[in-house]
Amino acid sequence: MTRTPPTTVNRVRLWRWRPNPLRRHSDVVEAWTVLAAWVLALVAGVLAGVLAARASAAAFEARLAQVHTVSAVLTEDSARTPPAGTGYDDGRVWAAVRWTDGDGSVHADRAKVLPGAPAGTRVTVWANQDDRVVPAPVSGASADVQSALTGALVGPLAGAAVWGAGWGVRKRLIRRRMAEWDEEWKQIGPRWGNFSGGRG
């Protein structure tokens, strides 16, 4: 008894792009959809990342333009040890400060200073346009790093969103193709049975 050698099936790459009798119109549309999704995801990711980084940098610059440094004087001794707390703690303590503007206006507020500083110590604090003490703005290398990180996070998210939309379109095309196959099988299936019976 001779044994029939196994049939080797060669996988045809990029068959949706090549003319062949099995290719349908939906196959071509699906191929273009996948290609467009990849291209748009890449472009959208890069564009969104760049725009997010620029927007973040602009926000830091705008924040920096709204505040300024002032040379203030401690009006009380600062605590020697920071109070126990939870979360982020930079080791500094709150203390009362006072400073005088160029026009002679005197302002007072509370600012974070190093612990153990005696009254009369000169400290540099940040104040806003209303002459209230505010946290130091993000600037310089820190602003650049945070802007870059913002872009690096937003870019892939935007690309993934576009790719997800393209994948959704592809799934609809696959369902449509399966429905077309089902309809064609309903027409060909009975005749296939007849052909099989005729051979018997």
pLDDT of res. 30: 79
Average pLDDT on 5-11 reads 58
More confident residue, 190 or 93: 93
Q: How confident is the model at residue 200 (pLDDT cuts 50, 70, 90)?
A: very low
- In percent, how much of the chain has pLDDT > 90? 50
Q: How confident is the model at residue 182 (pLDDT cuts 50, 70, 90)?
A: confident
Nearest to 96 by CA among 69, 135, 123: 123
Average pLDDT, the chain: 83
End-to-end CA distance of the chain: 24
pLDDT of res. 162: 92
Q: Please give the Cα distance from 14 to 193 (Å, whole number).
A: 33
pLDDT of res. 88: 56
Q: Report whether 146 contacts 60 (CB < 8 A).
A: yes
Q: Please give the Cα distance from 187 to 178 (Å, whole number).
A: 14
Q: How confident is the model at residue 195 (pLDDT cuts 50, 70, 90)?
A: low
Radius of gyration (Cα) for the chain, nearest Å?
Answer: 35
More confident residue, 67 or 33: 67
Is the confidence at residue 53, as pLDDT, over 70?
yes
Q: How confident is the model at residue 147 (pLDDT cuts 50, 70, 90)?
A: very high
Domain spans, the chain: 24-61+143-192, 67-128
pLDDT of res. 103: 86
pTM exceeds 0.85 for this model: no
Say which DSSP state 18 is in: S
